[in-house]
Structure 1
Amino acid sequence: MPDLALVTAAEISRLAGVTRATVSNWRRRHPDFPAPSGGTEASPAYDLASVRAWLAARGQLPADSPADALRAKLTTKAAPLWLLPLVLAAGRMGPGELKDVIALPDEILMSRLGLAVEPYHDYVPGIDNQRYRDESADLLRALLRSVAEVGAVPTAEALAEYNSDDMASGGNYQTPVPLSELIADLLVTPGEPYPATVFDPACGGGGLLIAAGTRGATELYGQDVVAGLAAQAAVRIALETPNAGVTVRVGDSMRADGFPGLMTEAVLCAPPYGDRDWGHEELAYDPRWMFTLPPKSEPELAWAQHCLSHTPQGGRVVMLMPPATAERAAGRRIRAELVRTGTLRAVIALPAGAAPPLHIGLHLWLLQRPYQQTTPAQHVLFVDTAAANARRTDKTATRRPTADWPALSSLVLGTWREYDLHPDAFDAIPGTAHAVPVVDLLDDAVDLTPARHVRATPAVAPPEELAATALAVRDRLRRAAAGLTALSGGQHWPPAGSTARDWRQATVADLLRGDALSLVRAPLMVHRAADASRDESDQVRTLTTQDVLNRRPASGPAERAGEEITIETGDVILPEILHHGASVARVATDADAGHLLGRQLYLLRPDPTRFDPWFLAGFLAAEDNLNAAANGTSIVRVDVRRLRLPLLPLSEQHRYAMAFRRLHTMRVAADLANRLADEAARVLSAGLTEGALLPPDTDT
């Protein structure tokens, strides 16, 4: 697209590095926003030069970050997918080599990059060989600078943002990183090596294969029907698992299997949901249907059999499934065969909010292709994490629940591994996990919904013991509520005047250049500490994004990469990704000091003679500040260098810092009171329904 061109609202959001909702707000709230110059009423278009001028006047035109410069270039260039091989080539260059290449004259640069990407054209599926031309020099340099400063993976994601509309496909959702890691961890068997070969027939952006590769898989295979997603997956997997062999192909896995005859030790898959156009008619006699042809309305059961067809005897499959697959009448016959043959090992119900679509709780199905001439498994494990997670749910500004991933992963992995070791002697966990005999499942419905099998009535506690427990919980709740009341009342918060204060501000990028702050991030490639250092790793933990969002101590396992970042008291830590449009900044205390900084976290270390860390954290986490520095669509990232801070004397900063610290203490107290209220209500409700407690006397 030439410079003097029209841009849509989506392209403006990429140009400014903000969300589309922010652009919509600008259009509604600012009369001086450029009027449409073309397009349609439903999709207006705007003059690019006018938009640039308006953004520059407001200080919204990115200039500091190479990643922003790349996004700006992409609004004037077509088909950025052809740049993916260059991202891979640049990601494998050293910092010195990148710097030298960027400095080359245009003609030599084109020749040098052409040679650099030649080995990767066949590696990245769906990308034709490209000859770089001199007119692309600015764009290519912007890409190289982005790789040099922010890394190859974020640069590839910037290209993905540009093509997100073209790559959208009904029923496809991006699997969150914590869930991808949990799914990959379900293949871990204590004392045995990780599966060497892993396949994902609906790989999307490659998240499941990346998780498998970082855990030890050495051969990774993927396929996706969307060419752009397959290309991104090939690049991302190669960058994040450099020691693994990677093969990714484009195509419809059901109609045109890109790996006929491939047998892998394990398959991980999050298939598209509810896609009835999966090839039911033309695939009626396909040899993959080991448990009969699935009905047209059961595409997920077709995917399950496709995955099993790529595993040998004993090969394992982990799938992310919609809950309806466990109970729909049309799939009863295939479910019965999965149970009867011992192929279905476990069904695990996740809490709502663990993965999109966020309003439902998805299921994990663990399958294993049975060995011939062996007795089929006699039990199926059912785990319901929804009830356990509900008491630890974090409520965001949109009141959507989010999973407590460390607790959820610990529960799922611990339960599964215990069952996998002793399937016939598994001790049920009341209300959470139960191994159900196969014969009890083969009824008219073959309903595999975990909640139907694990929510049995637990053993009733003695009434006197339960009454004493309830009294203790209520006493703790009263003390917590009294503390919260004291923190939230009392002092008067006066108005600033007839109008809000207007400060002189500077961006974090300006402050970094002036050495008022230093910015560090955890290395991209990390691995867990070896067993030999277990004593140390039991004490040193990794601060994760969820730890920051939930205001809890560091909970992640110690990770070693040779360049790990150790947290110091007074550091300010901010998540890179916005969660439902909100975030928090954490000031490291003595309890955090010595632990390691996790991935997807920024760490700002202020000069104590120039900035109070609590002042810094309070203004960094302001909603307007975060939204103005955010970019992306499905994954919204914060460019910390674009965040703005008021320039105030240190003495005045201390006043604001005390206020922000008081608000933090109030939030912590509210979290405690909320947890205790949930616990008290649960204990009292259980006592009433179990007959151990009587209702209170209504006369008192």
Structure 2
Amino acid sequence: MPDKPEPAPFVTAAEISRLAGVTRATVSNWRRRHADFPDPAGGSDASPLYDLQAVEGWLAARGQLPVGSPLDDVKAQLRRHPDGFEIAQRMSAVVLALVRIGEKGQKELLGCAAEALPASMGTVMRDHAAEVPGGAALTGFERGDEPVLRAVVRGVHETGAVPVLDALAELPRDEAGVRGAYATPAALVELMADLVAGAGDSYPQSILDPACGTGGLLVAAAERGATALYGQDVMPAQAGQALARLGVLVPSAAAHMSDGDSLRHDAFPELEAEAALCNPPYGDRDWGHDELAYDARWEYGLPPKGEPELAWLQHCLSHLASGGYAVLVLPPGTAERASGRRVRAELVRRGAVRAIVALPTGIAPPLHVGLHLWVVQKPVHERPESLSILFLDASAPGALSDVRATGGRGEKMIDEEGLREAIARRWRAFVTSSETFETEPGIARAVGVVDLLDDVTDLTPARHTRATTVAVNPARFAEQMRKARTELARAASTLTALNDEGAWPMVGEKTRAWRTATVADLARGAALSVQRAPSSTRNPQAHGTTDRREPGDGRRALTAADVTAGQAASGRVAEGQEAKAIEIMQGDILLPEMLRPLDTRARVADAQDAGNLLGPSLWLFRPDPERLDPWFLAGFLSADENVHSVATGSTMRRIDARRLRVPLIPLNEQREYGQAFRHLHALRAAAALAARLASETTRELKVGLTGGALVPSTFGHTSTP
């Protein structure tokens, strides 16, 4: 009997734009202007679907189909597979098995014939069933699975396991019908994992995440010392991803993973973990209010139907051992909505709320909302009325004077690493001694429980941090402001001088054109070398530290966040991995792997950078100084049109550095361009410094005026009408 024909895979217009590396508008123009553009093969008038094979043929005929990277191939094969979503769920376990067999085993699989690969992969899954949870059930691969399997093996072999898991995660989240569910950004992951340790004496050993997604929070906790990890997610694919990530990144930790709705079907009803981390879905009114009305978890009161966040918060508290902390990301309305007042009041009265931190808008999705971090604690006993709660308002750019502003218009204006450390430092100081915690007007304040129990129990940080002033010494404050204004004037003069240096002449009637070569071509010709951090030293979840050593231990690693912010090396490779790490040399060019929305910045390593180690998520280019000028190379490698033309991926766009193009011009001309790019770098640095100092100075002057330490410059010299 002949085989049943496989259904043709379809793609949307958005997927065509990602496939071709163009915008949605370009795809719309193709549809209107080219009569031979493939007709819709399904869907609706508002959302048509196109036959993938026909689209690829049309793009290839016009040279619009980019050369695919291994990760592109993984996603393309998943789109082509008739059961792409289902097989993608199985591939997470396959990735973990591929890590277990190592590079030699991966090469052997790549050498298998097409008809033999599915059976060989099934054998691998059986042989490593003890190391790959659930892998024993994933052995029945068919011949039609071969292209996906081969793409995944190639991807793991050439790019590493975590990028392949990221590619597998780029699937429509609406498959599970989850509203208000978002991935937690790396900077927020690291901050939450820091806060849950309390004063930081010892890290909690058992951690629960009841809405674990792909496991980022659990990975961060394990990297800090947690040994027992419990996770649950309503999407089976996400739970499988989390299990695979934990197995790849922290194989020594014991991972317990389950799928299902944590509120309706708690997978760990008897668990008492030492800590919990959670970024729950927000605004989901269908969380089970009616069916869970008499649930024992609502110790602080039944959460209203419109307050699912208070249900998640109490779920976490119910799973904590006495004295354990939980850190949750919650929308700002949770702190002040009238419907949740009774539950908030009970949480405050019984000492469960320990801190609420207002975060800057845009630090995590939904990007238009300034989220809050709630730190809660399972009460050890009935708390005294003298207990206080820390309110920390970091919501405005520049609110924390020890956090540097970065970026330009339309970008984040927060140094995420500095923000993380500033918040964590204040939290540790509060936990160590809440009675002696020093109030910072407009920023941080410890408020007694009794003062919070009013008719509204509004726990919005800004309401409490901006409602107090602290007496200061006017003479000391005036001297600080004089020094600040002097420093600002010096920075402004430097910026003005750099801006006035020379003119930028027009080239002529037409723009200049060059013959170019790719980075891969230049590397083959030994004009430069391209390197990345070895996979064993990378930490894809973090921009900074990867272990818990003290700042003086070992050499620093330069991270992507350091390059973007223009700051000194702040990261660190895992203990015992320094011998495998790549040492940075003066003249190396560092380029972030992830594409930035507006401006991807390259960095030319100077004498201070030399000797540091190459951190995660960075490309390193080492040019032959007799053939390539470093600053010339950095300028063209980071050009917007260059990096956008070689970026791959959809949710997380990565720069395929080997496809970047560089003009082929004589070395003396390169040096002229290099000098120009160096000047622009200095101009940008001076502008950033002046902007930061201006923000800090104006804020402090305003505090001085409103706090009574300063008076207007005309005070006492003008008559009062």
Q: Which residue of 1 aligns with 2:529?
A: 518
- Aligned position for 1:640: 657
How far off is 1:511 after superposition?
2.7
Letter in 2 for 1:92: R
CA distance in 2, matches of 1:673, 1:695: 23
**Residue 496 of structure 1 corresponds to which residue in structure 2?**
507
1:172-191 correspondence to structure 2 within 5 Å: 172-189=181-198
From 680, 688, 695, the counterpart of 1:663: 680
1:74 is aligned, of 57, 67, 78, to 78
Which residue in the other structure is 1:541 paired with? 556
Give the direction of change, closer, same or farther, for the CA distance of 1:660–1:29 in structure 2 (3 Å limit). Answer: farther
| Secondary structure, aligned partner of 1:24 | helix
Q: Which residue in the other structure is 1:684 paired with?
A: 701
Partner of residue 215 from structure 1, selected from 224, 239, 242: 224
Counterpart in the other structure of 1:440: 451
Q: Which amino acid aligns with 2:25?
A: S
Written as runs of structure 1 = structure 2, the 5 A alignment for 1:215-364 is 215-364=224-373
Q: Is the 8 A contact 2:71 2:164 kept in 1?
A: yes
Following TM superposition, by how much is the alpha carbon of 1:121 offset from its aligned partner in structure 2, in angstroms? 10
Find the aligned partners of 2:72 and 2:171 in 1 and give their Cα distance.
12
Structure 1 residue 644 displacement after superposition: 2.0
SS of the equivalent of 1:182 reads: helix
Tell me whether 1:449 sits opposite 2:460 in the alignment: yes
Match of 2:37 in 1: 35
Q: Deviations over 1:359-405 (max 9, x none)?
A: 33221111111124775772222222235744646454552434322
Map of 2:165 onto structure 1: 156
Q: Which range is displaced more, 305-314 or 107-116? A: 107-116
Cα shift at 1:551: 1.5
Counterpart amino acid of residue 625 in structure 1 = N
Q: How far off is 1:151 after superposition? A: 0.5
User: What is the SS of the residue equivalent to 1:106?
Assistant: coil
- Map 1:578-597 → 2, pairs under 5 A: 578-597=595-614
The alpha carbon displacement at 1:682 in A equals 2.1
State the match for 1:102 in structure 2: 110
Structure 1 residues 453 and 125: alpha-carbon distance in aligned structure 2, compared to 1, 3 A threshold: farther
Structure 1 residue 457, shift from structure 2 partner? 4.2
**Aligned-residue identity in percent:** 47
Structure 2 counterpart SS, 1:175: coil
- Distance 1:162-1:126 versus aligned 2 partners, 3 A rule: farther
Aligned to 1:24: 25
Q: Match for residue 124 of structure 2?
A: 116
Q: Does the aligned pair in 2 maintain the 1:327–1:449 contact within 8 Å?
A: yes
State the TM-score, normalizing by the size of structure 1.
0.91
What does residue 8 of structure 1 align with?
12
Partner residue, 2:439: 428
Deviations 1:17-59 (CA, angstroms, capped at 9, x unpaired): x3xx624335448955963411444334445456435544676
| CA deviation vs aligned residue, 1:94-124 (integer Å, no higher than 9, x gap) | 2122112211233443222102224559966
Q: Distance in 2 between matches of 1:33 and 1:269?
A: 51
In structure 1, distance between residues paired with 2:489 and 2:153: 59
Asked if the contact 1:125–1:230 (Cα under 8 Å) also holds between the matched residues in 2, the reply is no
Q: Output one character per residue of 1:546-577: Cα deviation in whole Å (capped at 9) or x when no partner.
A: 22112122233565424222211111111112
Could you say what secondary structure the match of 1:315 adopts?
strand
- How far apart, CA to CA, are the structure 1 residues paired with 2:408 and 2:433? 43
Structure 2: give runs of 5+ residues left out of the alignment.
540-544
Describe the superposition over 1:445-471 as per-residue Cα deviations: whole angstroms up to 9, x where unpaired: 111112222224444545454444434
1:280-303 per-position Cα deviation (integer Å, ceiling 9, x unaligned): 111111111111211111111111
Per-residue CA deviation, residues 255-312 of structure 1 (Å, 9 max, x unaligned), is 1112222221111111111111111111111111111211111111111111111122
**Contact 1:167–1:228 (8 Å) recurs in 2:** no
SS in 1 for 2:170: helix
Q: For the residues of structure 1 that align with 2:14 and 2:130, how far apart are their CA atoms?
A: 29
Distance in 2, matches of 1:46 and 1:388, equals: 44
Contact 1:34 1:46 in 2 (8 A): no
- Distance across 2 between alignment mates of 1:531 and 1:324: 35
* Matching residue within 561, 569, 572 for 2:589: 572
Provide the rounded CA distance (Å) in 1 between the counterparts of 2:301 and 2:550.
51
Tell me if structure 1 keeps the 8 A contact 2:231–2:257: yes
Q: Is 1:550 the counterpart of 2:558 in the alignment?
A: no
Question: What do residues 127-160 of structure 1 show as CA deviations (whole Å, max 9, x unaligned)?
Answer: 9735222343333222111101100110111122
- Tell me, yes or no, if the aligned pair for 2:205 and 2:228 is still in contact at 8 Å: yes
In the aligned structure 1, how far is the partner of 2:413 from the partner of 2:123? 46
Q: Does 1:418 align with 2:408?
A: no
> Distance between the aligned counterparts of 1:57 and 1:396, measured in 2?
40
Question: Structure 1 residues 166, 126: closer, same or farther in 2, change over 3 A?
Answer: farther
Residues 1:139 and 1:629: Cα distance change in structure 2 (over 3 Å): same
Between the aligned partners of 1:185 and 1:551, the Cα distance in structure 2 is: 24
Q: Which amino acid aligns with 2:195?
A: L
Deviation at 1:690, TM superposition (A): 3.2
Q: How much does 1:536 deviate?
A: 4.5
Q: 1:254/1:458 Cα in 2 relative to 1: closer, same or farther (>3 Å)?
A: same
The Cα of 1:184 is off from its aligned counterpart by: 1.0
Equivalent position amino acid for 1:25 in 2: T
Deviations 1:403-446 (A, max 9, x none): 32232222222222222222334333343222221111111111
Rounded to whole Å, the distance in 2 between the matches of 1:457 and 1:193 is 34
Please report how far the alpha carbon of residue 211 of structure 1 lies from its aligned counterpart in structure 2 after TM superposition: 0.7
Normalized against structure 2, the TM-score is what?
A: 0.89
Give yes or no for contact 1:14–1:162 (8 Å, CA) kept in 2.
no
Contact 2:37 2:58 in 1 (8 A): no
* RMSD (Å), alpha carbons: 3.1
Change (3 A) 1:628 1:122: same
| Equivalent residue for 2:691, pick from 658, 674, 699 | 674
Gap change, CA 1:10 and 1:387, over 3 Å in 2? closer
Distance in 1, Cα, partners of 2:546 & 2:219: 19
Counterpart pick for 1:609 among 602, 607, 626:
626
CA 234–411 in structure 1, closer or farther in 2 if over 3 Å, else same: same
Question: Contact 1:271–1:320 (CA<8 Å) still a contact in 2?
Answer: yes
Structure 1 position 482 matched with structure 2 position 484? no
d(CA) in 1 for partners of 2:420, 2:206: 23
Checking the alignment, whether the CA contact within 8 Å between 2:591 and 2:603 is kept in structure 1 is yes
| CA contact 1:199–1:221 (8 Å) conserved in 2 | yes
Given that 2:498 and 2:683 are in contact with CA atoms closer than 8 Å, whether structure 1 keeps it comes out as yes
Corresponding residue number in structure 1 for 2:542:
none
Deviation at 1:473, TM superposition (A): 3.0
Aligned length: 695
Show CA shifts across 1:490-536 (max 9, x none): 43323333332332222223333333332222244558688888644
Residue aligning to 1:85: 93
Kindly provide the amino acid, as one letter, of the partner of residue 97 in structure 1. G
For the residues of structure 2 that align with 1:443 and 1:205, how far apart are their CA atoms? 40
* Matched-pair contact (CA < 8 Å) for 2:533–2:615: yes
1:174-221 CA deviation, whole Å, 9 max, x = no partner? 111121111111232567432221111111121111111111111111
What's the secondary structure of 1:313's corresponding residue? strand
Distance of 1:645 and 1:340 partners within structure 2: 64
**Runs (5+) with no aligned partner, structure 1:** none
**Residues 163, 234 of structure 1: alpha-carbon distance in 2 compared, 3 angstrom cutoff:** farther
Residues 55 and 625 (structure 1), Cα distance of their counterparts in 2 relative to 1, 3 Å cut: farther
Amino acid of the residue matched to residue 662 of structure 2? L
